[in-house]
A and B are shown apart, each in its own frame.
Chain A
Amino acid sequence: MTRFLAQTSPVADSTTSVVTPSIDFLGLLPVLLLTAGAVLLLMFRSLIPPPMNLSSPMKTSSVKRLFSFETAWMFVLAVGGLVTVVVQWFRVQDEGPIAVFGSEFASDGLALFAAAVILISVAAVALLLPRFCEQAQIKKAELYVLLMLSAAGGVVMTGANDLIVMFLGLETLSIALYVMVALNRHGLMSIEAGIKYFVLGSFSSAFFLYGIAMIYSTTGTTRISGINAFFADYIVLRDGVLLTGLALLLVGLCFKVASVPFHAWLPDVYQMAPTPITAFMASAVKVAGFAALMRVIVLALGERAHNWQPAVFVLASATLLLGAILATVQNNIKRLLAYSSISHAGFMLVGVQAASHEGVAAVLFYLAVYAVISLGSFTIVSLLTGPDGDGDSATVASAAGLASRKPLLTAAFVVLLLAQAGIPLTSGFMSKFYVISAAVEARSFWLAVVAIVSAVITAFAYLRIVVSMYFTSDIPATADDGIPSDVDTVKDCHSDIPVAADTGKGDNLERPLTAAHLTTLKLGIPAGKGDPLTGAERLPIGAVVVVSVAVVVTLLVGVLPSPLVSLALDASANLLGSIP
């Protein structure tokens, strides 16, 4: 007994003196708000299901449909998170980078800038989701919960100062996305997109993880600032394992940001995902992916830039050119924007390739600008009416004559498309300018040339949509009421709304309700009849808010880029670890 006590007492002593990591709760608050908010929302909605008001659709006013409880909850949490990020930003400006959780998680310029963009995109998507949930008849809160968890993963990814923490953030982000992508109402095609994304995503995660193991074997740590310090102090002579690890990490991250040899999942996923989720992927997921990419290769492995710069050069050129060329041959608008998003990823890789402060700042500026543009563009896509009655099926041809039917919406779309093409006086021009000038400063002249060529090619793709909207007259078949004549159920429900509600429930497995169908159910007006955009009340308010803010920001940053540029420069100046 005494011997037992003698054995246990040192253990008891050591447990009392365990060093707990220092936690900076302000820096952790965005993640805590999102995860706790998601869990609470899930609990709340499991206990108190939302009222079923499908039987009396006319009672729900447009305002009430915008401010569903879930939307308000998610919006408030995102804005709250944004406030904490801003407060933390000023702290970081004064004190330099702050280690948040031990030193597993960093509050530095890169993390806070990226987290702010992610939270803004969450707030915007919160406004878009009610309309989608209504169209897809999703009455539960899963989509909101998954989106918040996914965003929390993204925030963790951007601030991770440890490769394992970054991996966990990446998986939290991705696993929630796999589900959300498959939640659309295109039956087998939605499941297909989900499975493709899942298989390729987990495949790339395995590569990323194997890369972490290789880097760990070389440097003896998975901490990013530790790896940075290791390469500043030592020169690795037998670097086979290190280079393999670097390549595997690059492959894993390039899958996530959809750089060209690893881009195959993106068009299918972007096209089939619910459009608000596509907007989230094009903004927040891209930001998280590039923040992680820059943290890993520019910060942790910056001393080995001579090893990865040629690889990123090739990846960036291929991404720029292939994304641009394939965008020009697309007919589906959502798919066209998906390919254009690949080419935008190429532009961001141009900034990454520079491996400098200016490069990081240019990529952050590009990410913020593109997040706003893509949120606006995909919101407009969700408002279009394609052959199947929703935005997912809208083609360049089906957008013909949109300018005469919805002049304001079309004008907004044109501004956003021109910004994506990089026309001067829009934010897109400034973002491309800074990325290319960073490449020129890093003496990557050919990459700058490729980027400019790619910008010209994608401009053709965007102008095809603009030409179709403005200079092509309506297609005769759809000119009468804006609804394709082959959708018989829609025709039926014009005459008798309750009957349409029944037929809608019967066949929603194979052919779910179309948007036109549901507009008829909800508002009691035939879809397509109220087309001319005379006032905003025809469009969902959430979408109008997002589009107008996106257009205003796009033009404002295009004319006055300096405030956002100086923010991005401040962000790249305050980094945990250093750029050589």
Chain B
Amino acid sequence: MSELSASWYLAVSAALFAIGFTGLLVRRNPLIMFMCIELMLNAVNVAFVAFGAGLNDVGGQVAVFFVLVVAATEVVIGLALVVALSRFKTGATADDVSLLKG
């Protein structure tokens, strides 16, 4: 099996991050927006693993666990907010939360 250089993994990571970034800006459904944030965090995980392997350092691999925990916590809070939002308005999108201006 031929070896892939680190830059390939970084390209995947950057692509995932860009997809998440674009998705967050484009999509209006709050659930999809949260998924996009998760995608961005997981892109970072790919980068950490690739850098850790490249540097032969276990720190990069360990960082992934911390990121996973944080991502899980963020989902919990995000879903709680979506539930609270849908109690006011079913099927609310990001366009519905635009009361505050100025």
Binding site for B on A (CB under 8 A): 164, 167-168, 171, 175, 178-179, 182, 187-189, 191-196, 198-199, 202-203, 205-206, 209-210, 212-214, 216-217, 220-222, 267-268, 271-272, 330, 332, 335
Report chain B residues within 8 Å CB of A222: 59, 63
Assembled-state Cα–Cα distance A203/B44 (Å)? 12
Assembled-state Cα–Cα distance A199/B85 (Å)? 14
Closest to B50 in A: A217
A217 pairs with B51, CB closer than 8 A: yes
Assembled-state Cα–Cα distance A335/B41 (Å)? 32
**Most chain B CB inside 10 Å of its own CB: which residue of A209, A213, A330:** A213
Assembled-state Cα–Cα distance A189/B85 (Å)? 10
Assembled-state Cα–Cα distance A175/B72 (Å)? 11
Assembled-state Cα–Cα distance A204/B12 (Å)? 20
B84 pairs with A221, CB closer than 8 A: no
User: What per-residue 1/0 map shows which CB atoms of B52-92 lie under 8 Å from chain A?
Assistant: 00110101100100110010011001101110110011000
- Given A164-B63, A202-B37, also A217-B81 (CB < 8 A): no
**Most chain A CB inside 10 Å of its own CB: which residue of B33, B34, B84, B98:** B84
B20 pairs with A217, CB closer than 8 A: no
B48 pairs with A195, CB closer than 8 A: no
Contact of B80 among A179, A196, A205 (CB under 8 A): A179
Report chain B residues within 8 Å CB of A220: 55, 57
SS of A interface (majority):
helix
Assembled-state Cα–Cα distance A317/B63 (Å)? 35
A191 pairs with B102, CB closer than 8 A: no
Give me 15 A-to-B residue pairs in the complex whose CB atoms sit less than 8 angstroms apart, sorted by A's number.
A167-B70, A168-B70, A179-B80, A182-B81, A191-B81, A191-B88, A198-B77, A202-B78, A206-B17, A206-B20, A217-B55, A220-B57, A221-B59, A272-B100, A332-B102
**Most chain A CB inside 10 Å of its own CB: which residue of B34, B40, B100:** B100
Classify chain B: how many residues form its interface, as a range: 35 or more
Q: How many A-B residue pairs have CB under 8 A?
A: 114
A209 pairs with B77, CB closer than 8 A: no
Report chain A residues within 8 Å CB of B97: 188, 191-192, 195-196
Seed contacts A194-B81, A199-B34, A213-B51; 5 additional CB < 8 Å A-B pairs:
A167-B66, A171-B73, A192-B98, A199-B33, A210-B47
Report chain A residues within 8 Å CB of B77: 175, 178-179, 198
Report chain B residues within 8 Å CB of A214: 47
User: In angstroms, how far is the closest chain B Cβ from the Cβ of A508?
Assistant: 13
Report chain A residues within 8 Å CB of B43: 206, 210
Closest to B54 in A: A217
Closest to A171 in B: B70
Assembled-state Cα–Cα distance A103/B40 (Å)? 29
Contact of B67 among A187, A192, A209, A330 (CB under 8 A): A209
A-B residue pairs, 8 tightest by C-beta: A206-B40, A192-B97, A268-B100, A217-B51, A213-B47, A209-B44, A188-B88, A202-B37
B85 pairs with A195, CB closer than 8 A: yes
Assembled-state Cα–Cα distance A192/B84 (Å)? 10
Binding site for A on B (CB under 8 A): 13, 17, 20, 24, 30, 33-34, 37, 40-41, 43-44, 47-48, 51, 54-55, 57, 59-60, 63, 66-67, 70, 73-74, 77-78, 80-82, 84-85, 88-89, 97-100, 102
Assembled-state Cα–Cα distance A418/B17 (Å)? 45
- Given A216-B51, A222-B63, also A191-B100 (CB < 8 A): no
User: In angstroms, how far is the closest chain B Cβ from the Cβ of A509?
Assistant: 8
A195 pairs with B30, CB closer than 8 A: yes
Closest to B67 in A: A209
A267 pairs with B102, CB closer than 8 A: yes
- Given A178-B77, A194-B81, also A164-B66 (CB < 8 A): yes
B44 pairs with A210, CB closer than 8 A: yes
B20 pairs with A189, CB closer than 8 A: no
A216 pairs with B100, CB closer than 8 A: no
Assembled-state Cα–Cα distance A179/B80 (Å)? 9
- Given A206-B37, A209-B41, A216-B59, also A178-B81 (CB < 8 A): yes
Assembled-state Cα–Cα distance A26/B55 (Å)? 35
B30 pairs with A206, CB closer than 8 A: no
Report chain A residues within 8 Å CB of B17: 206, 210
Contact of A198 among B40, B48, B66, B81 (CB under 8 A): B81
Report chain B residues within 8 Å CB of A212: 44, 63
Report chain B residues within 8 Å CB of A268: 100
B37 pairs with A188, CB closer than 8 A: no
Assembled-state Cα–Cα distance A222/B52 (Å)? 11
User: In angstroms, how far is the closest chain B Cβ from the Cβ of A84?
Assistant: 26
**Most chain A CB inside 10 Å of its own CB: which residue of B34, B55, B66, B77:** B77
User: In angstroms, how far is the closest chain A Cβ from the Cβ of B29?
Assistant: 12
Contact of B24 among A178, A203, A216 (CB under 8 A): A203
Assembled-state Cα–Cα distance A193/B101 (Å)? 11
A216 pairs with B99, CB closer than 8 A: no
User: In angstroms, how far is the closest chain B Cβ from the Cβ of A438?
Assistant: 33
Contact of A203 among B37, B70, B102 (CB under 8 A): B37
**Most chain B CB inside 10 Å of its own CB: which residue of A171, A193, A202, A221:** A202
Closest to B48 in A: A213
Report chain B residues within 8 Å CB of A221: 57, 59
Contact of B88 among A175, A187, A196 (CB under 8 A): A187
Report chain B residues within 8 Å CB of A217: 47, 51, 54-55
B24 pairs with A199, CB closer than 8 A: yes
Assembled-state Cα–Cα distance A268/B97 (Å)? 11
Contact of A205 among B24, B47, B54, B70 (CB under 8 A): B70
Assembled-state Cα–Cα distance A531/B74 (Å)? 44
A168 pairs with B81, CB closer than 8 A: no
- Given A167-B66, A221-B59, also A192-B48 (CB < 8 A): no
Assembled-state Cα–Cα distance A164/B43 (Å)? 16
Report chain A residues within 8 Å CB of B30: 195, 199
**Most chain A CB inside 10 Å of its own CB: which residue of B24, B37, B81:** B81
B100 pairs with A189, CB closer than 8 A: yes
Report chain B residues within 8 Å CB of A213: 13, 44, 47-48, 51, 60, 63
Closest to A163 in B: B63
User: In angstroms, how far is the closest chain A Cβ from the Cβ of B31?
Assistant: 12
Report chain B residues within 8 Å CB of A205: 41, 70, 74
